Structure 1
């Protein structure tokens, strides 16, 4: 059985620095990890890597990319010596062809904090090989649903692989600084309610897909996502599963509600 998940990776390195505003998020990631067998490999789509093409990191020993600034020194000394999975990466390179966008190999970029922060919580031993795939920078919902579907087909002959869509269901950076702002709270709650209805209530596959394609028409959508990059990992994760989740949580991260979902793959 393969699994797919959409999770929030929180604010930069803060979940790994013991930040109080991430306590509930950390607990949910630990819970999700306990709900499934220890994966043999993890494929990650992070909000913090988007490219004109679709890129697949094929490195055997990727380094970490500290793609944040303004944090204390320990944030730049985080270690997570996870290995890559070059053979799986090559299979994904092949399996992602035919989407109408070039798919190319990445041999130099490190794993960003959308990868190593949640993995360090879910798999602190760093002993599960990991492959990162980029978002495509046009942020087409249809394309990212198809990316998930192609990933699922590519790994269908394998067993015990986790696809992790690492983003955030609320990502208005200015609003994060407004803990008690009524507009932020209203839009946040309305969009999270919409997500729960779309993902976690009985709908046909076609209905869910249409809702996700037309996500901008959801209440609070553009307030919660002035740009799309933190939502598109959800589309990839759902595209691989196309079903209701086996676990669904909405928790507070940095005083805002955030959605977490876990699926078995179709």
Structure 2
């Protein structure tokens, strides 16, 4: 699969929840050589996951004051990037939406005390269509998105995940689409020993928090709430919107990840976390 490191691979059940680092804009779809390892990962990762009847994506590229669920039956494309080659604005991913599931998710959130709403006009942003075009190119499985909260509060995002935990009992693949490393300025600069060290330090800290069986769930939650106490945290995430889909995924899962895959792209290391299906 290229340059990658896998932790906890074992004989695991297939995953129903995954946090992915989705790469730089549409570059993976343009076969950018700096994303070769990530492209390989996205093309092979479905073998680690359930065969879903629906896909729910929590994308780093959608923030609202309160949770909003995408409810269009046929979402259009939202090219939420700029300065890329012309062909990146002709990309299409014609997967159907899932209005019925959107309404149910909104109902579940409202019943849990989290006020939510539906958006029938928003299209698929690149946090969805970039990885899914490589993972599920046939575009047959219905997809929908759930927004982040503009508060960027990590505890609120874990609560958002907890509120929709019942979806894990169904054949729904939940994807948190962001990145464990998201410093745009750093991507434009050559890595140094110091910056590589900060990247690896944060990855090591995050991996330990997400997979350690020695932590109680209360301890794990506290560490995720205070994620920026890590010395390298703000170098890797000057703004945390790309990390918060992980908090939602953890909230749904309620326990440590079963598998971690670290992939090198654009001269940095980023990680993916997979939680297996429940019995």
What is the SS of the residue equivalent to 2:231? coil
* Aligned counterparts of 2:273 and 2:231: Cα–Cα separation in 1: 20
Task: String of CA shifts for 1:213-233, please: whole Å, max 9, x gaps.
Answer: 110101301111111100000
- Give the match for residue 146 of structure 2: 133
2:101 aligns with one of 78, 88, 92: 88
- Give the match for residue 264 of structure 1: 276
Identify if the C-alpha distance between structure 1 residues 100 and 151 changes in structure 2 by more than 3 Å, giving closer, same or farther: closer
- Give the match for residue 73 of structure 1: 86
- Give the match for residue 246 of structure 1: 258
Task: String of CA shifts for 1:8-62, please: whole Å, max 9, x gaps.
Answer: 1111110011011111112222232111232110000000000112110111000
**Cα deviation, residue 210, structure 1:** 1.2
Segments of 5+ residues of structure 2 without an aligned counterpart are 1-13
Structure 1 stretches (4+) deviating beyond 6 angstroms?
A: none
- Give the match for residue 7 of structure 2: none
2:33 counterpart of 1:33: no
Segments of 5+ residues of structure 1 without an aligned counterpart are none
What is the SS of the residue equivalent to 1:164? strand
- Give the match for residue 147 of structure 1: 160
2:79/2:126 contact within 8 Å kept = yes
1:191 aligns with one of 174, 184, 202: 202
2:15/2:49 contact within 8 Å kept = no
2:15/2:50 contact within 8 Å kept = no
Identify if the C-alpha distance between structure 1 residues 178 and 99 changes in structure 2 by more than 3 Å, giving closer, same or farther: farther
Identify if the C-alpha distance between structure 1 residues 201 and 207 changes in structure 2 by more than 3 Å, giving closer, same or farther: same
Provide the TM-score with structure 1 as the length reference: 0.94
Between the two proteins, the alignment pairs up a number of residues equal to: 264
2:25 counterpart of 1:12: yes
Task: String of CA shifts for 1:176-225, please: whole Å, max 9, x gaps.
Answer: 11222333212111100101111122222122111111101013011111
1:51/1:135 contact within 8 Å kept = yes
* Aligned counterparts of 1:150 and 1:106: Cα–Cα separation in 2: 19
- Give the match for residue 61 of structure 2: 48
2:131 counterpart of 1:115: no
2:191 counterpart of 1:180: yes
Identify if the C-alpha distance between structure 1 residues 4 and 206 changes in structure 2 by more than 3 Å, giving closer, same or farther: same
What is the SS of the residue equivalent to 1:133? strand
**Cα deviation, residue 86, structure 1:** 0.8
* Aligned counterparts of 1:239 and 1:112: Cα–Cα separation in 2: 23
* Aligned counterparts of 1:182 and 1:35: Cα–Cα separation in 2: 33
Identify if the C-alpha distance between structure 1 residues 8 and 170 changes in structure 2 by more than 3 Å, giving closer, same or farther: same
**Cα deviation, residue 235, structure 1:** 0.3
